[in-house]
Structure 1
Amino acid sequence: MLYLKYKPLSFSPHCLFLPLFTMVGSTSVLKAIPQDILNRLWTAKETRVSLKHLYILGKQVNKTRQTPSPAIKIPSEFLCSELPIRYGHMLKMLHAHPLATTSPAMQTVANRYVSDTQLLTRLSVPSTEMESSQFLEVLRTLRRRQCGSLLRLRHGLLTETQGDERAQDAVQGFLDQCNGLGVGVNLLIGEHLCLHDKGHNLVQQIDPVKVAQNAIQEAQRYCAETHNVTAPQVQLVCKYPNLSTTYVPAHLHRILFELLTNSLTATIKHQKTAPVKLTLVKGHEDVTIRLSDEGGGISAREMHSAWRYHINPHHKALLDHDQDDAQVEFDSKRGLRFARLLARYFGGDLNLISMEGYGTDAFLALSRDDAVMENYPVSNLTETELY
């Protein structure tokens, strides 16, 4: 399998990142990083994975549970090699952005990513039970910190460019790139942790109906607590008893949660009694999910706003303490733009069709082709091409 191929980096990271980390603590965080070191990270090519890669890998690991297991060691080697490359690509995008030298949020996040990359480059492939435990703890820390870093970047950039529509538009695309990298990193780390902590794959053969039922319950609970009312009913319709596909249950849950909370909130605000309707259909190429509400619809101006990242006041409270990433990791509301990014990551899509004055239909397509490679953000562009 291509996914399991071990790719050693072309430089010795243990010695390079010690001075790099020291220099990044200065006031001009990104400009102080030696360009030759960054270039070596930036030009390293990522190895893209598919749902099929991850699913087969998990099955192999579960068949071989002795310690150390060859099936576990190979993915560990892959993570030790692949994660620094992906973190390097994030540093490349942060460095290339026009706000790199002026944005406090950008400098803070760049500092955190360099610190995390330094931690990664100190890792060695675990060969004992103690080393395996230490390796897993580092991965847990990296996952929490990345969630916190991405949220800090989003909140900081949107706050700093508030009132400048042109700058806000540019920030939207940039956040897509950063979040796209984040999805891939979290997927690789999450798959490894899930296999060790829970004994099963993160990528699974899922029943979308069961995932939808859980998302409905969580969305109704969220809306009831937020608006202090009884949440509207959701009618779930599926005429395919054996509906299944290979996917990441957490990704589908997140997408449906974002869609459902929006529909339920619109229904509450417009005081409608008609239930929200969730329909699942199986096609040859896709599993399609339609969510229909009678919550008043979305105007053209509001539709433009719906597909944007927004400042969430709740995020500021989460970010008051710089190292408190545990709560951030489980932050509940991230918006439709993030949901669409997740849908597109493995060949799917998410669209809205609205009838202003009546209601909105959301259409989510999940590709049933599990060999589709991840939609990894382009990493081999120059600064000029990026921005």
Structure 2
Amino acid sequence: MITSAITPSLVRGAAELESTARGLRPHRLPASVRERFPDPQLLMAESQPSGVRLVFTTTAEQVELVTHPTRVVYLGADRPRGFVDLLVDGELLHSDELTGGSYTEVNMSTGASRQVEGESHVSAFSLPAGAKVVEIWLPHNESVELVELRSDAPVEAYDSGRPVWLHHGSSISHGSNAATPSGIWPAVAARIGGVELHNLGFGGSALVDPFTAQLMRDTPADLISVKLGINVVNGDVMRLRAFVPAVHGFLDTIREGHPETPLVLVSPIFCGIHEDTPGPGAFDPASFGTNQVRFIATGSPEGVAAGQLTLRVIREALASLVERRAEDPNLFYLDGLSLYGHTDAEEHPLPDALHPDGATHQLIGERFAKYAFAGKGPFGTA
């Protein structure tokens, strides 16, 4: 087997690769942001390499990727392990479930935690004969260090030349409850649309942060989308008066670097607990110890009169905001209910009352692709 150096030219979807004692850790936010605002939730989310993959051409028939996973384990909540997906010439051939690694064990009732160390994981794949394009998608729900890439023939970096789609969103865009990394809805949509995904979906952290807008401004992209709302509501971090100008400023910053790039502003999908009830959201204590921890809204509908946000209020605000930016012909509004609405919630209920399951990620991805990448859609010219 040949050991190949894992260089930035092999990696797609990461802002940078941090050198560690074991190897390289992909980050989706640069060090300048991580050092200035080391919020634990944000740091955990950005270090989970959702949408990040190794891409190369090879004639190899055996490929091995050694990773060291790091995750958080909540006592009383059975959270699935991450997977490493192998795609060859765009087709999913294998999904390898992670084992071992290190984890932080958290007691949700007391807040106590402890650190547990484990062994690295080897994803071993058999590939078809001949020259091919290989994509190894890293887990969307666990941080990993890239330790070693081995193959029985040389690998070469590959650039498809396809348009780059830069997307920002919440844990739903990050991929929460999706089964595998190539099954998160942005990855599904990107494959249908024939584009290269750069995913800035951050669980719990789509909060109209200026540094995210600045990163998007400075990241090369041919197509851009921003999905905002649910984290602002379930974090109860803004009132309507602050939210609307913050979104204007977010879009203004992106436009500094991408003045004419097609940009889709997407409002929240249906989520029954927050449609008319403000946050903050919280774990439902009644679900502790069951096989499915659920979420609840702890606010009061009366708070809307004082400017508290619900998903219904946010959809109205974002639709109006885009109308007021009529001078921007390349800005589009997509109602999140067209991706997943009330009827869908009856047929495909959110397992934890907040995040879609794997089948629903597929549905949302297909619907976004049908809207955005169709001939007359905002990304259709791509």
Q: Same fold (TM over 0.5)?
A: no
Q: Which has the higher strand share?
A: 2
Q: Which has the higher helix share?
A: 1
Question: TM-score normalised to the size of structure 1?
Answer: 0.26
